A = this chain, B = another copy of it.
Amino acid sequence: MPAKATQPHNHQTGARRAGGNTHMDTIFTGLSANLLSPIVLFFVVGLGAALARSDLSIPEPFAKALSLYLMLAIGFKGGAEVARVGPDIDLLLLILAGVILSFGLPVIAYWALRAASPLGRMDSAAVAAHYGSISIVTFIAASDFLESRAVDFDGYLVAVAASMEAPAILTGIWLARRGHATGKVTQTPSLREILLNGSIVMLVGSFAIGWITGADGMKTMAPFVVDPFKGVLALFLLDMGLVAGRGLRSSARGLDARTIGFGLYMPLIGCAVATPLAILLGLSAGNAALLLTLAASASYIAVPAAMRLALPEARPAIYATLSLGITFPFNLAVGIPLYFTLAHAIA
């Protein structure tokens, strides 16, 4: 099937070629275009349905399958892209930058929460860990945003995303324990548990396979990982909207304004901290936009589970509501176009 076979390449080079006219994008047109994209609208439908107490719901095993698919696809495409353009020495530097951000951002987040919110040590440390780590769906939404604007970025950013998931967990635990002799058996998740976390394995494994199999692999996998990708993402975001809406409905009352405020300004702090790194590394606009987005995003899958084990006294209603109910929608709707405008300016 020759026409089909070359499609992913056409698609990707097409996306990369037309990068020029995005200079015209102002932040406002970018924002309004983003707000009317199918994926944001599906999120809004889910959010609205949950807030209006509709019984619409996506079965959990299927929602999990959708998220596995998204990680497989984004990983594989990233790897195949690296195979196409060749690996880049910058990859290692960028991973290093990501790891530093993931280790460091929780310290800033913790300090902000202790200074300007009523949250105690445990809750602050747990929330902080979430904001050092990343949200892979936010990353995917940002890639989608870039692709639909034909902005170039490197496939290996997926590896950067994977490397930023775990370090923040260690900082969060350290923040909670610092200076407190824990009489009880400490229950830190082991490094193996953190690093062999399902989503990291799926991302890195698919990335490796995409890299190894390259263009041939892409030809085989494209009708699965490329063609239906955006549709699956839209359906998954419907579910994220439902989850965020239910979370908001049941826990938002419990959060005071300063805590909610943190969910809105912390992504901007993350983005601000990542900006000098992006300049220092001389990243392209696309790569920079993704790094800023990663820094600005907050985990809602891996870190909550780790916090239940390591810091059980921290209240899940707080960190889950903040990262999934406040920061995720903020990034999806407003953050991504913003980070892209900034990345464009510094690149």
Contact = CB atoms under 8 A, between A and B. Distances in A.
Interface of A: 1, 3-4, 7, 10-11, 14, 36-38, 41-42, 45, 48-49, 52-62, 64-65, 68-69, 72, 148, 192-193, 196-198, 201-202, 205-206, 208-209, 212-213, 217, 220-221, 223-225, 227-228, 230-232, 234-235, 238
A24 B281 CA distance: 48
Q: Per DSSP, are chain A's interface residues mostly helix, strand or loop, or mixed?
A: helix
Contacts of A213: 36-38, 41
Given A59-B64, A61-B61, A197-B54, A221 B231 contact: yes
Given A54-B198, A220-B231, 9 more contacts: A1-B11, A37-B213, A49-B196, A52-B192, A53-B192, A57-B198, A224-B231, A224-B232, A227-B228
A36 B228 contact: no
Given A55-B197, A57-B198, A41 B230 contact: no
Contacts of A201: 45, 49, 54, 56
Contact of A205 (B45, B57, B221): B45
A56 B204 CA distance: 12
A234 B213 CA distance: 13
